[in-house]
Structures are given as C-alpha cells and as structure tokens.
Structure 1
Amino acid sequence: MGSAERKERDKQEMREMILTAAKNLFIREGFEHVTIRRIAEVIEYSPATVYLYFTDKDAILCALQELGFRELYKRQQVLSVIKDPAERLRACGKIYMEFAMENQEWYDLMFIMRAPMKAFDTPEDWNLGRDTYEVLRSIIVECIDQGYLKARDPQIACFALWSLMHGVVSIFIRDRAPMIPKEHRNHVIDGILDFTMAELLEK
C-alpha cells in the first residue's frame, strides 16, 4: 500500500471513529448536550482534529443520517422485482418498518431525535432522504394509475402512509406500547400493514 492510499485509509478510519463516538453520545446524552469537545474527549483527540472532518456537530448529524438513509435505500432496491404495484406497496411498508425496528438508534437519529436541521442548507443535502421517499411515492403513483388505490392525490397518500408507519415504529422504539409484548410486535406490524392495505386498495 502506497503512502497516498495509507493516508486515505487513515482519514476514513478517523472519520468513522468520530461518527461512531458522536452517534453513541447523541443517543446516550442527547444531541443538544453534546459538543465537539465532548466528542474529541471520547476519541482522545483534540477538538481541532474533529473540525478537520466536520464543520460542526450538525454536519456530523447530517453524515450519520446519510448513512442511515443509504442503508434504507439499499434495502428498497429489492422492490424492483415485485411486478404487482399493490404487493410492492405492502413490501415497501414492510421494509421501512423492519429497518426501523432492526436499527432503532439509526431511526432515532434520522426521524425522532429533536435536533436543528440547518446542516441541510440546500435541497441537494437531503438527496438520500428524498430518494427513499420517492421510492414510496412512485409506487403509490403506479397504484393510483392502475386503479388500485382509492386515493387520487399521490402526495397526500404517500405522506399519510409514511406518517402511519412512522407513528407505529416510533411508539415501539420509545416503548410507549407496554400492552404489546416485544415478541409480538412483528406480528402487530404485519397486521397493521394488512389492515392499512385493505383500507387503501380499491380491489
């Protein structure tokens, strides 16, 4: 390995170390209470080192969210093999909710944690999040065009379905449903998807 490759590898390792430390701190102590100095203490480097990689902690949060959205989008790619749009819509919901339940800390950082969004200064900064949303919206458009959905406005239908899925997984992630044992939650998620599809579909 040449010096340039080694330097690039070291930079990538340092970036990952910063992100891992920040993620753990954001989850454990809350985004608003974490400082760049605190992150530097955990990785045992100076704050100046952290600033070489990120302008501020908002930029760190943005990078963490990007990693989460990249993984969600990767999972969504299997939907392309499902020909029936109604089946694809249900599968899309299942993938989203499974991702949330299997990656609860990531989901918290992406959708639940209260934090300023000023790191996303331009629409391009939210591209990966927009891409995952567009997967759902495009399926809904196809369902409407083929007469599967009762809804006529794809944006409203998309946001309504997303809001429902987000609400369910957020309740579970924050343990606000003690009446449902954890071992039954996947069954409940399947039931909610079946119920929702039955209400949404024309046929």
Structure 2
Amino acid sequence: MEKLDKKDIQKIRMMEYFITATVKIMEDEGIQNVTIRKVADIAGYNSATIYNYFQEISHLIFFAAMTFLKKYYDALPKYIKSAANPLEKYILIWECFCKFSFDEPETYHAIFIANLGIQAEDFQDYYTIFPKDIIDIPEELMPMVLESNLSKRGRIALERSVKEGYIKAENAEEINEMATLVWTGMLTLFLNNRRNYTKEQVVRETMKYIRQIVLNVNYFDFRS
C-alpha cells in the first residue's frame, strides 16, 4: 500500500467515523433503518458533512455492509481446506458464500446486487480504510476478495480448474455465469419472501443448482 499524505489520512479517518456509525445502526435496528441523519448524530457531525465523503446513502451502506464480509473471509480458508481438487474448491467457495449470505441477505444484497452508481474500485477503497479485514486471507484468494463484481469473483475462483484441466475454458464462462445468476435469483426471492424457505433450505437448494450446473455443463460437453 502506498504511503498516504495527511489529507488522505484525514479523509480515511472521517469515512471510518461514518462507516462505524452506520454499522452500529445496521446491527441495532437493521439495514432498512439507516438514515443520513441517524449516522450524522452517532458520528457527531452534521448530515451535510457525510456527502463530502459518500455520494449517497446507498454508497455509505455499501461500505458499512463490507464489514460483515469479514466473517465469511475468516471462515473461508478452513472451509475449503478439505477440497480434493480446484473444481471442488470452487463449489466449496460457493457453499461457504451461500451460508453467510443467506444468513445476512440484506447485507449481501447491498454489496453485490443493489444499484450504487459507484465504481468497482470501492472494494479497494474499503480495504484501504480497514486493511485488517483481509490480513489473514491466503494469497491465492486475494484476487477474488479484491474484486467487487460477483461474476468476475467466481470466474477468478474457477480459473485454476481451467488451468488444471478439470473444465474446458469455453465452459468456464457459462458455468460461472449460471451459478452467479442462480445465487442472485435465490437471494432476491428469499429476501422478498417469495419462497417459503428456512435459511438452511435456501442454502441447500441454491447449492443443489450450482452443483448441477458445474457437473452437467462438463458432462454434456465432453459427450459431444
């Protein structure tokens, strides 16, 4: 990380105040109850000051939601340790992601689905403020962790399976895009109470479809 000047340090400090205040509201009242006024009151600044550092409320909620990913990242290395090959690791990465995302669907929706009107580099911006959140991430997972686009994250996770011949390169995009769409659709349905699933059921159903995608695309391709 490049050395920061005093202006950058001050900006990061101010953003941290507002992010921490937003996280408190999310934990105490829920993400749907976050308002600029509440954040400003907790942080001890006026509402107008927040807009010097965040474009809008969804931008601030996005940064605050990022703090909740740490639980997933802390669990991930151990979760995928049992994988016998890269393709199994890809599936386990999805399974771990599903378990944490369906436990906090509003938060993961804010990070990976909601329309923010901001650029992908915001993941990098967040980890400039909170570098300790990823300090224990294995180097092999870091490119995925730093990518904000969910489809690109999955494609990165699938790359080693391509290199080692577990799937064909021409199948990788199709497998990953379908897996991403399954998760996005299931999370949206679950979040909006369009399916009568428990958290355990929705994880199980989502992973059933993702496994079928991975296995069936390869199977039918190699038969052709």
Q: TM-score range by the shorter chain?
A: 0.5 to 0.7
**Larger of the two Rg values belongs to structure:** 1
Give the paired residue count.
Answer: 184
What are the ranges of 5 or more consecutive residues in structure 1 without an aligned counterpart? 1-9
In the TM superposition, residue 153 of structure 1 has moved relative to its aligned partner by: 5.4
Which residue in 1 is equivalent to 2:116? 116
Which residue in 2 is equivalent to 1:143? 161
Name the Cα RMSD after superposition: 3.9
SS in 2 for 1:130: coil
Alignment CA distance shift 1:158-1:190 (3 Å): closer
- The answer to whether the aligner puts 1:162 opposite 2:180 as a matched pair is yes
In the TM superposition, residue 130 of structure 1 has moved relative to its aligned partner by: 0.5
- The answer to whether the aligner puts 1:21 opposite 2:22 as a matched pair is no
In the TM superposition, residue 87 of structure 1 has moved relative to its aligned partner by: 1.2
Separation of aligned partners in 1, 2:54 and 2:153: 31
Counterparts of residues 77-116 of structure 1 (less than 5 Å): 77-78=77-78, 79=80, 82-113=83-114, 115-116=115-116
SS in 2 for 1:137: helix
SS in 2 for 1:97: helix
Alignment CA distance shift 1:62-1:49 (3 Å): same
Give the TM-score normalised by structure 2: 0.60
CA contact (8 A) 2:182 2:209 kept: no
CA contact (8 A) 2:175 2:213 kept: no
CA contact (8 A) 2:22 2:61 kept: no
Which residue in 2 is equivalent to 1:191? 208
Q: Which structure shows the higher helix fraction?
A: 1
What are the ranges of 5 or more consecutive residues in structure 2 without an aligned counterpart? 1-12, 125-144
Query: What letter matches 1:19 in structure 2?
Result: V
CA contact (8 A) 2:102 2:202 kept: no
In the TM superposition, residue 109 of structure 1 has moved relative to its aligned partner by: 1.4
CA contact (8 A) 2:113 2:184 kept: no
Query: What letter matches 1:95 in structure 2?
Result: C
